[in-house]
Chain A
């Protein structure tokens, strides 16, 4: 079945790098996404990676994809207190033309000053 798993919590010190991990099950996913959600807010798209890539860098964000192991990670360099939020990974699952997203449970990142 479709399932996306993430660890629940991560705590880092300001200025350190954060690495948030995710595993997914649908090997046919075309795109994989990282979203950020701050308290009481909607989802903000951070970055995404196409399934035929193994790495994508976007300023402080680096996404690594291991398609064989169905493992996705998000690295945030020089983590700031403003990065404190819940981070969701999502896989895009295509069925009969519907590209619905399957989300993980989210990783709560806490950045300590």
Chain B
């Protein structure tokens, strides 16, 4: 297994457009997390899935953000009507047990 993968690695979009990111976790990991990292900061938790169920969402996840994990494998994070403040690195992590999360390389979003 090659670890957690994310696609695309970079995305540049214009304000107001919708974007969707994909995360493929390590196979057999039933827990999947999304984090956001802005410049000069540590990652901040956005949301968590156990299998296909979204069990927790951060207050950071406004109604323009939606995440899915339809079959309990890969996950998508969609941002609608992007704003400049959405520019950040979006990180995905997966774990098999309650801890030890393995992170993907991230998707860097730039909103012009």
List chain A positions with a Cβ less than 8 A from chain B. 4, 30-31, 35, 41-45, 48, 88, 90, 92, 94-106
Contact = CB atoms under 8 A, between A and B. Distances in A.
A72 B31 CA distance: 26
Interface of B: 31, 33, 35, 40-45, 48, 50, 55-56, 91, 95, 98-106
B99 A43 contact: no
Tell which of A30, A42, A88 has the most Cβ of chain B within 10 Å.
A42
Contacts of A4: 42
Contacts, number: 60
Given A43-B91, A100-B56, A106-B41, 9 more contacts: A44-B103, A45-B101, A48-B100, A92-B99, A100-B48, A101-B33, A103-B43, A105-B40, A106-B42
Given A42-B105, A45-B102, A98 B55 contact: yes
Contacts of A92: 99
A30 B112 CA distance: 41
A100 B43 CA distance: 11
